Amino acid sequence: MLDPKITIWNNVTYADNYYQRQIPEGDKKAIRGKLLTGVDNNQELEKWAGFDPAKESDNAHRAAVSWYAGTANLNESHVSDEKQQVFRRLGDLLVEGFSSDDKDKSWFVPGHVNANFPHGDENAPWEGIGTGWFYSVNGGGDDLRSYFVNGEKKSRDDLGDFKEFQDYLKKNRRSVSDDNTYTNNKIQVGTRMRGDHAVSSLFNGNFDVFAGKSDAQAKSKIPGWFVENDSGNQPLQKDLVRWHNINTFKEDGNDYLNRIGYNETKPNYALFLRTSQATEVVHNNFVVPEWGDLRFNLLAPAERGKLKVIIETPPSGIGETDWQSTTLETIDLSEGASGKLNQYKQDIYKIGFGREGGFETFHVPIDDRYRGKTARLRFKLESSNPAGVFLDDVFFSSAHLKFGNPSEARFDSRVPGDNPYRENLLIEKPQYAVSYNRTTKTPNWVSWQVNNAWLGKASRPEQTIFKKDSQLPQGWPEIDHDNYTDKNGKNFGFDQGHVIPSRDRTNHEKDNIATFLGTNLIPQSVDNNRYFTSKTDPAKASAWYNIEGLVRRLVAQDKQELYVVAGTYSTNWTDQKRSNAHPEEVLRGNTKSGEFQKQGIHIPRWTWKTILALDTPGMGVADVTENTKAYTFLTPNKPEPYKNWPEIGSPVAHPFNQIKDKLGLSEPLPDIQNATEWRDPSTWQVTIEQLEKLLQGKKINTLSSVPEDIRQHIKKQKYSIT
């Protein structure tokens, strides 16, 4: 394993670095101290007494630690744990064999902005005040901190007013959301050692942090995961398998690794649990995060056995020694998912895509009683016949929220009247994440990842109707197909609109049917949803349909990985034409918007979508730069202005002009000239900054995991989609 790069984070108010370069002679493992860039105050200590030479018997950096301890405790002449002399006074030097000429080798002289003593000055305070621990808030000298800029000592006031000081910090700090994990792309480790966040929700949940694969190391423990006994039923490093060595991915016709851009020179490892050797694995003690489902990826080629997911908590009573175990869920490895809409709930913990396609994601909700508490996590394979399963990417965060939770939604199981998140309830699924609103009975937003692994040949359900979402807490409104139709099954003039389209989940029927749930449903105008006469001609399809096509083009043709967030804005319960563009719907008159109003289902006035485009699958927050592209759209959820609008001629005022101030537009936009322009996604393109200004009442903040300077730059851009 390799240490991360030393980083000065933006929550550090003062960065001071005291270091020695020497290490004990013959010690090839110790890391030498060094000057750090971006630090406010660097001090090299080794020219003073006790630092040179570093003896073989010494601990590396022992004297540096003792020096700092001497600034915190002004009474001690030795640091007891280190048995190191603290050279405060000339007398301390003489005792250790130094002469009176070595007074400049004494350790301490004040260094704050009001002190200008040369080192060794006999008139300077010698106790250890005015430096080191003194600069901390508890040390009392935080107002006198020294900042060294281009070698010149400056005070806080010298650095300017508040804004100028913030600019100084911005230049010399990095966001705490940055991932400083070792990333040398020239050797095998690189970015594979990263977890789900800069600080992983579960250390080494991806099984990619380990010493190596030599014969000696093969019998070593997997970092973060432990072996309880020597029975041989728990895995070691020898049980880690490179993805490209898994037989499923070697079979003819399986192009999973190619579709996700897998690179054999930078291998990804999974843990192989099997009845013949290692059947279970336990993660070391950890603190359960305050929010987020447990999620993990499985590949189960054999139709045998079951995998138990168990959480363990420490002994609670006096004299108790055994940890308490609770089975969270059991994954059925033997029976495959049916992929039928009426079997959605029963299929959740059955294998779908993970049988023959590739790794499949599972989510397990965590009860509130475990949040913030110490726990262990156990995966246990059980089968009376030979069985095996590959386990990977065990974390407490959704892949679909990798770049942030746009409204800081949270799941809460209480009924709506008692629920603080009744208008911002987080629902996490393997296929997407949702912020659901009890008041509007529609999602605020849906967030999802799209890459080639999600796209395939799976078909939509035979009956393309929406079902109630069983994941909603008890007492919440369960919206489905019946809420959008009358007693005879006729709709009220609006499409049952997907927020995440079913076409973004075609790798397996199990994943496709998950898009047909009431928490992914909005009343959507025909002219803001469908193609009209051609699936392939953008001029004969709605702008929203073309935006959905853009997503799949960027993935299928450009091999990109996208992170999409889509939602709605404002409400319009006014009756309107069903369609002015679809040849069949044009003849069917007006909508019955009042039927939705009676049920309290809000009809969106606008729909929006923002797309973060990454060049290759597997990239993370640390890979986002100011050159990363994002595309954002805002479309009116209403029929086109004219019936059978010609593709040229008959201009209309741009609807954005009605919300110009809310978008922050400085000037009105020119008229939309014809149907072709109306159906062009670029007509409805905005910046993320403009969208968030419009949505400011909903407190939407996309890309919140991206460092602020990069995030703000991206949010101001409008990139061409051609």
The answer to whether the CB of 281 falls within 8 A of the CB of 234 is yes
Span 638-674, pLDDT tens digits: 999 999 887 777 899 999 999 999 999 999 999 999 9
Span 389-439, pLDDT tens digits: 999 999 999 999 999 999 999 999 999 999 999 999 999 999 999 999 999
DSSP string, 434-499: EEEETTTTEEEEEEEEE-GGG-SSPPPPSS---B--TTSPTTS----GGGGB-TTS-B-SSEEEES
Amino acid at 582: H
CA 635 to chain centre: 28
pLDDT of residue 194: 73
Among 92-106, 179-193, 587-601, name the one with the lowest average pLDDT. 179-193
Span 47-60, pLDDT tens digits: 888 876 555 555 66
| Pick from 341, 336, 327: nearest CA to 380 | 327
Separation of alpha carbons 477 and 484, rounded Å? 14
Residue 242 pairs in a beta bridge with 269
What are the domain boundaries of the chain? 16-172, 192-395, 399-715
Separation of alpha carbons 207 and 192, rounded Å? 9
pLDDT over 70 percentage in the chain: 93
Mean pLDDT over residues 134-157, rounded?
94
Separation of alpha carbons 569 and 572, rounded Å? 10
The top-level CATH class assigned to 192-395 is mainly beta
Mean pLDDT over residues 616-623, rounded?
89
Mean pLDDT over residues 329-340, rounded?
96
Our CA dihedral for 35, 40, 45, 47, rounded to 10 degrees, sits at: 80
Per the prediction, the chain carries an average pLDDT of: 90
Mean pLDDT over residues 148-153, rounded?
92
Determine the topology of domain 399-715 in CATH.
Extracellular Endonuclease; Chain A (3.40.570)
Separation of alpha carbons 147 and 665, rounded Å? 42
Instruction: Compute the radius of gyration of the chain from its Cα atoms.
Output: 31
Residue 351 pairs in a beta bridge with 336
Separation of alpha carbons 90 and 69, rounded Å? 19
DSSP string, 273-297: EETTS--EEEEEEEEPPSS--EEEE
Span 463-477, pLDDT tens digits: 779 999 999 999 999
| Pick from 261, 631, 190: nearest CA to 452 | 261
| Pick from 388, 342, 394: nearest CA to 510 | 342
Q: How far apart are the first and last CA of the chain?
A: 44
Among 303-312, 458-467, 469-478, 561-570, name the one with the lowest average pLDDT. 458-467
Mean pLDDT over residues 138-152, rounded?
93
Q: Do domains 192-395 and 399-715 have the same CATH topology?
A: no
The answer to whether the CB of 393 falls within 8 A of the CB of 430 is no
Asked if residue 212 has pLDDT above 60, the reply is: no
pLDDT of residue 190: 45
Task: Kindly state the tokens that stand for 598.
Answer: 């009676």
The answer to whether the CB of 273 falls within 8 A of the CB of 185 is no
Mean pLDDT over residues 306-331, rounded?
93
| Pick from 525, 652, 674, 501: nearest CA to 586 | 525
- pTM reported for the whole predicted model: 0.85
Separation of alpha carbons 48 and 102, rounded Å? 9
The answer to whether the CB of 181 falls within 8 A of the CB of 194 is yes
Separation of alpha carbons 328 and 367, rounded Å? 9
pLDDT of residue 60: 64
Task: Kindly state the tokens that stand for 391.
Answer: 């386990």
Buried b (16+ CB within 10 A) or exposed e, 109-123: bbbbbebeeeeeeee
Task: Name the phi and psi angles at 562, rounded to 5.
Answer: -115, 150
pLDDT over 90 percentage in the chain: 70
Separation of alpha carbons 347 and 336, rounded Å? 8
Amino acid at 155: S
Residue 609 pairs in a beta bridge with 566, 633
Separation of alpha carbons 62 and 67, rounded Å? 9
The answer to whether the CB of 660 falls within 8 A of the CB of 689 is no
Residue that has been written with the tokens 């308490």 in this structure: 324
Region at 215 (left for phi over 0; alpha for psi -120 to 50; beta for the rest): alpha
131 falls in which pLDDT band (50, 70, 90)? very high
Asked if residue 568 has pLDDT above 60, the reply is: yes
| Pick from 580, 577, 601: nearest CA to 591 | 577
pLDDT of residue 264: 87
570 falls in which pLDDT band (50, 70, 90)? very high
C-beta neighbour count of 333 within 10 angstroms = 26
Asked if residue 319 has pLDDT above 90, the reply is: no
Task: Kindly state the tokens that stand for 720.
Answer: 């061409």
Helix ranges restricted to H, 252-365: 256-259, 344-347
pLDDT of residue 533: 94
CA geometry: angle 177, 208, 326, nearest 5 deg: 85
DSSP string, 26-86: T-SSSPPP---TT-SEEEE-TTSTTTSS--TTSPTTHHHHHHHHHHH-SS-SEETTTTEE-
Active site residues: 498
Task: Name the phi and psi angles at 69, rounded to 5.
Answer: -60, -35
Task: Kindly state the tokens that stand for 564.
Answer: 């999409």
pLDDT of residue 56: 52
Residue that has been written with the tokens 């005015």 in this structure: 130
